[in-house]
Structure 1
Amino acid sequence: MATTIGVCNLSPVFRRDMKSASVKPKRRPSPILKSLAVSTEPASLATATTSFAEKKKKSSDQEGETTTKKIKRLLEVEESEEYCGGKRKSLKDYFEEAKSMMIRSDGDQPRWFTPIECGSEAPADSPLLLYIPGIDGLGLGLIMQQQRLGKIFEICCLHIPVKDRTSFTGLVKVIERKIKSEKNGLGKRPIYLVGESIGSCLALAVAARNPHLDLVLILANPATSYSKSVLQSTITLLQLMPDQTLGVSFMSLMTGDPFKMALDNVVKGLLLQPTVEGLSQNLVAMLSYIPVLADILPKETLLWKLELLRSASAYANARLHAVKAQTLILCSGKDQLLPSQVEGRRLRRAISNCQTRSFNDSGHFLFLEDGVDLVTIIKSAHFYRRGKIFDYISDFIPPSTSELNKLHENIRWFIAVTSPVMLSTLEDGKIVRGLSGIPSEGPVLFVGNHMLLGFELIPMITQFIIEKNILLRGISHPLLFFKMRDGFEGAFDLLRLMGAVPLSASNFYKLLSSKSHVIMYPGGGREALHRKGEEYKLFWPEQSEFVRMAAKFGAKIIPFGAVGEDDVAQLVLDYNDQIKIRFLETLTDDGVNINPRSGLSGEVANQDVHTPICVPKVPGRIYIYFGKPIETTGRKHELRDRNKSHEVYLQVKSEVEQCLAFLKDKREHDPYRNFAVGSLKIIAQVMLVRHSILSPIIKPHVSAFICASF
């Protein structure tokens, strides 16, 4: 597992310095589809002619490349192309490809195809992803997702022709036949079924009929709620409407807000042109595709699909109890076709191994919306695996540049308000501003204190990426990786995306053996969820937990301290208060307390996970100080002795306490600590971003003011 992100010259907003941006890369050939010519089965059904297991071997220059490195390289190439003038496919491409598919005869039998850009880029041990379309049946629903999906999956899409009238059970058999034809060549790799709407019902039916197969279901707005949808009550009205009117109505229902996808696709362009002109041009372009919608779903086909939806919903609902596959339900908040969020909560309870993620501002066709990235969703939920079980080290894919950009966008105001100060210690003991004292090569183990709710992780993770190009891998409470109580699912997706792993000896071993930069909190949840008056108090186990493992791999141990959360949040109801008033809420789905240190005694064993009630305080700075590295190289045999390792453990704890004392003293003399100066720094940052209002003489002074500290 690589310890640093393969991104060069990261600026404070994580974007590359692309000097060749004026040179546009060659665009991939169009259309995106390979020929749909396939062999026809006797039962009027079709499957792909070539099994993924029978594909040609990878070229010799890639044979020695690890899967993780290849995926990272492919993602870097993709992002380089994006910044050099390439772009992600859009809703316009969906209509254009649909139009070209409609022009030529698409036959009358379901068949499988592979998008051209997904043909051969994925590593040899990638899992297979079968896309099952929604009501349109085209198989183009992943057109905006497939460029990135093709880096980590072998992809095959189901195309159901407009004139096809295969029954629901017949379509189920098409999918089952495809799975069986591929399964033997996949070894221990799972098969992913990504379905939308009626495609979700098909995926659920296949999973229920084949509980012995290793399937992973990714379902967007399942049509299992058809009986409660507006479609159920509008069939008579649809029968009376002309095809063109149907096209307009269907386009308006495609999103949560009418034409939302059209607006999303031009939002960047609107910043560079008059708003009315850009909006009108885009709407005209969208309206020009109404005839294409009429070709995709003529009245007789739409009525057939609605009847298919009815039978699909009934079939899938009757068999939900038999679904054992790992399942992720994606629910749109503004789905005007189906009550998707309510249905997502129902399915989550009905399916044993199921999680949900909500997209409150999205419409029915989730994968065709700008800003929705299926790869990020899968990675964040820890749903990407290449074997029987998810491996937190070998299956981890480092965050891409676009994901880091989004992270920065989400936390930039927190960074601006808290104006973090980070100090590190050089080998000669000199304390310096920044992270120059942090070793670039691993393994490195950072050991320190948790602030309230782990606020210190936000600036730490981002600063390590910006300044050192290092991704910190956190060892976290196991609760973050279990099925959460309804309302909390997705709360820790960002930590999972950034490489957090659950606390265990095996995960710790794998991280250090892969020369990672690892961050550990011996105080765990007890420190992150501390009580009133316990700020900066350490709750460490009495016995050593990490020294001997670090010595085994010669890892440098760097103690650190973090202060500042007493300026950020005020505890109103802590654990003790909630116990007294019986207000305590657990976060796990079944109320079980997952305590990674249940065998210990004392305060550190009291790690009941709860939701502290707190309110913001007047913002203040966060300060983090990394002490001098403690070498363990060459001490492997010496530190096998429990007494010797315990001495080093106590030394690390003592130095963490010294780091805290140092910061609490120094921040009292920081002239830039108070809220007024912090507000000025926010304004200065905005001015610096809008550099056109600053003269070349003033800009350096503004930058110096932003970076100023004690």
Structure 2
Amino acid sequence: MSSDGGPPRWFSPVECGPDRLEGSPLLLFLPGFHGIGTGLVLHHRRLGKIFDVWCLHIPISDRTPFEGLVEFVERTIKPESSHLPSRPIYLVGDSFGGCLALAVAARNPDVDLILILANPATSFIRSQLQPIFPILDVVPEQLYDTIPQVLSFNMIPLLQLLGDVLPKETFLWKLKMVKSASLYANSRLHAVKSQTLVLASGKDQLLPSREEAARLRGILPNCRIRYFDDSTHAILLDGSIDLVTIIKGAGFYRRSRQMDYVSDYIFPIPDEVKKIYEDNRWVNFATSPVMLSTLENGQIVRGLSGIPSEGPAVFVGYHMLLGWELAPMVLEFLKKKNILLRGIAHPFMFNKVSEELMPDSSSFDNARIMGAVPVSATNLYKLLSRKSFVLLYPGGAREALHRKVICLTHGEEYKLFWPEQSEFVRMSAKFGAKIIPFAVMGEDDVCEVRISSQLKRFLLLCNCRANAAGEVGNQDLHLPWMLPKFPGRFYYLFGRPIETEGMEEELRDRERAQEFYLQVKSEVENCMSYLKEKREKDPYRNLLPRVLHQATHGFTSEIPTFEL
């Protein structure tokens, strides 16, 4: 590998920039051990659509010490931050670059930095290289060519490659640089206050990245983790990894000092939708959803032809157990109507502490990619002002995590737990939004709630609901214990749209608004009663008849249902 000479410098890939989103923040990519930024190769095109991307290039022969590199990055971020103080600056650090990002953040606590760290080398002291590190200094020049074979034997193919192409002096310099960077960054972790996302590989043969991610989360106050069990140390060169999708899913993309879940939202691309569909394919197969809608004349038809094509609109309905109805419904609306339902979600789904309680820290990433926002009047206002299609469950988490009522034959399935307040009615009227009542049914054909265990840990974590006021903020979260059943079928009925245009003044009266609210609730209950009665006449309610039908008519054929 030949040197291109010169000091460290920034460059921006040619493909970045022509159609960049207005107000895009600056993203500085800080490369790994080699210093040439190969980790950016698979990501710069997508990043360039929502960021102003610069990549740090450290020439092979450059001998700038680590502190010199820290100062070099500082000389870039300080004027940029002064020029646009309300806009964050992203530092994406790959391995060694992760140490550099942390060092810069520690020295500049007043700059709004967002750190994305891919297998940061802060764990270098625990690297597999440590046993052979002292030997490298004393290896004679004539034996240096054997180092790649030694590294290969120790299962470190990345360094084997670098040992093949780098001169001995350069190779040793860079290893010492990583060691000094690790020590420098670790000594200053206490000063890092920046929002941080750590990407950790499960098969990193160079560094204990998974354990290091957990350690950093315990030290850094604003740190979250995304694990990638099948990735190696060069995680950004893994073709299955999409950095933009990860940033969006983790809720880390913003263009101002405070996160705005409406204005900062980026519509999912086809590849993201396809992956989410694949993740939920089993739900569609097991439940063969039947979706019905109501035309203006009151006729119920199969499909979504009764759904208005233009917003704003508010879909108000019953929340099935654990929200199982969400994925089939949201994906079907996007596929058939090109409508993205923006869900109003419990703040628990956006909280750092809640991620630590979940088996998978990325459990709610798909919901954020598909446009879910934390419940608040402000977010509802912003969505309706943009003529969005809003998905609202007045019963919230209490409805989705309903309980088994001991000593009774049935539990709380298909019961509405709506609050007394009717604010969404007046908000809808302000923008003339159509209200579409809907019901879903089928959870009792998938499982039986046996007992509910109150998650006391949830109740102790006040931060989960710190930003939620009123009845939503007072909801207790329960985890139901379930006994699975041989799967039945999911049914959806969207009622006739209820107009609110021209009713803003009328609904200012609280009593009239309450009447309207109860009317919407009654429509949801009517939809539930309709589905409950009709599904009894569906010959394909059980899985076996559906499988036999598809075996004879093709697996893409629509499965019949009850007569409408």
Counterpart for residue 164 of structure 2:
294
Partner Cα distance (1:339, 1:253) in 2: 15
Q: Secondary structure at the match of 1:230?
A: coil
Deviation digits for residues 194-225 of structure 1, max 9, x if unmatched? Answer: 00111111100100100000111000111111
Q: Is the 8 A contact 1:219 1:329 kept in 2?
A: yes
Q: How do residues 114-153 of structure 1 correspond to structure 2 at under 5 angstroms?
A: 114-153=12-51
2:518 to 650, 663, 676: 650
Aligned AA (2:517): Y
Counterpart for residue 479 of structure 1:
348
Q: Secondary structure at the match of 2:493?
A: strand
Counterpart for residue 83 of structure 2:
185
Aligned AA (1:527): E
Q: Does 1:159 align with 2:57?
A: yes
Q: Does 1:677 align with 2:549?
A: no
Partner Cα distance (1:252, 1:401) in 2: 42
1:500 to 372, 378, 394: 372
Counterpart for residue 693 of structure 1:
none
Q: Secondary structure at the match of 1:484?
A: helix
Distance 1:253 1:457, change over 3 A: farther
Q: How do residues 295-694 of structure 1 correspond to structure 2 at under 5 angstroms?
A: 295=165, 297-485=166-354, 486-488=356-358, 489-532=361-404, 533-574=411-452, 578-579=453-454, 584-586=456-458, 590=461, 592-594=463-465, 599-600=470-471, 607-680=475-548, 684=551
Q: Is the 8 A contact 1:417 1:678 kept in 2?
A: no
Aligned AA (1:708): P
Q: CA deviation at 1:299?
A: 3.0
2:125 to 204, 215, 227: 227
Q: Is the 8 A contact 2:78 2:111 kept in 1?
A: no
Counterpart for residue 706 of structure 1:
558
Partner Cα distance (1:168, 1:425) in 2: 66
Q: CA deviation at 1:568?
A: 1.8
CA RMSD between the two structures: 2.4
Higher strand fraction (1 or 2): 2
2:100 to 198, 202, 210: 202
Q: Is the 8 A contact 2:446 2:488 kept in 1?
A: yes
Q: Is the 8 A contact 1:243 1:294 kept in 2?
A: no
Q: CA deviation at 1:164?
A: 1.6
Deviation digits for residues 53-111 of structure 1, max 9, x if unmatched? Answer: xxxxxxxxxxxxxxxxxxxxxxxxxxxxxxxxxxxxxxxxxxxxxxxxx45x4104211
Partner Cα distance (1:431, 1:249) in 2: 72
Partner Cα distance (2:127, 2:50) in 1: 35
Partner Cα distance (2:79, 2:171) in 1: 31
Q: Is the 8 A contact 1:385 1:391 kept in 2?
A: yes
Q: Is the 8 A contact 1:244 1:290 kept in 2?
A: no
Q: CA deviation at 1:654?
A: 0.5
Partner Cα distance (1:249, 1:617) in 2: 55
Q: Secondary structure at the match of 2:280?
A: helix
Partner Cα distance (1:538, 1:605) in 2: 18
Distance 1:115 1:293, change over 3 A: farther
Aligned AA (1:450): H
Any unmatched runs of 5+ in structure 1? 1-101, 260-288, 685-697
Partner Cα distance (1:605, 1:222) in 2: 37
Aligned AA (1:472): L
Q: Is the 8 A contact 1:550 1:557 kept in 2?
A: yes
Counterpart for residue 57 of structure 1:
none
Aligned AA (1:594): R
Q: CA deviation at 1:125?
A: 1.5
Aligned AA (2:465): I
Aligned AA (2:164): A
Counterpart for residue 170 of structure 1:
68
Q: CA deviation at 1:243?
A: 5.5
Q: Secondary structure at the match of 2:465?
A: coil
Distance 1:671 1:595, change over 3 A: farther
Q: Is the 8 A contact 1:447 1:519 kept in 2?
A: yes
Aligned AA (1:166): T
Distance 1:587 1:314, change over 3 A: farther
Partner Cα distance (1:677, 1:595) in 2: 48
Aligned AA (1:167): P
Aligned AA (1:294): D
Q: Is the 8 A contact 2:73 2:104 kept in 1?
A: yes
Q: Secondary structure at the match of 2:227?
A: strand
Deviation digits for residues 406-459 of structure 1, max 9, x if unmatched? Answer: 111111121111100000000000000010000010000000010110001011
Partner Cα distance (2:366, 2:110) in 1: 32
Q: CA deviation at 1:184?
A: 3.4
Q: How many residues align structurally?
A: 550
Q: Is the 8 A contact 2:375 2:468 kept in 1?
A: no
Q: CA deviation at 1:252?
A: 8.9
Q: Secondary structure at the match of 2:479?
A: coil
Partner Cα distance (1:230, 1:339) in 2: 9
Aligned AA (2:542): N
Q: How do residues 238-277 of structure 1 correspond to structure 2 at under 5 angstroms?
A: 238=136, 240=139, 245-247=146-148
Q: Is the 8 A contact 1:556 1:632 kept in 2?
A: yes
Q: Is the 8 A contact 1:235 1:303 kept in 2?
A: no
Aligned AA (1:110): P
Aligned AA (2:193): K
Distance 1:205 1:482, change over 3 A: same
Distance 1:173 1:570, change over 3 A: same
Q: Secondary structure at the match of 1:435?
A: coil
Deviation digits for residues 584-628 of structure 1, max 9, x if unmatched? Answer: 44298x56451776634xxx7762224333343211111110001
Deviation digits for residues 491-541 of structure 1, max 9, x if unmatched? Answer: 111101100001111100000000000010000010011001000110011
Q: CA deviation at 1:305?
A: 1.9
2:112 to 192, 211, 214: 214
TM-score by length of 1: 0.74
Partner Cα distance (1:170, 1:707) in 2: 66
Distance 1:518 1:542, change over 3 A: same
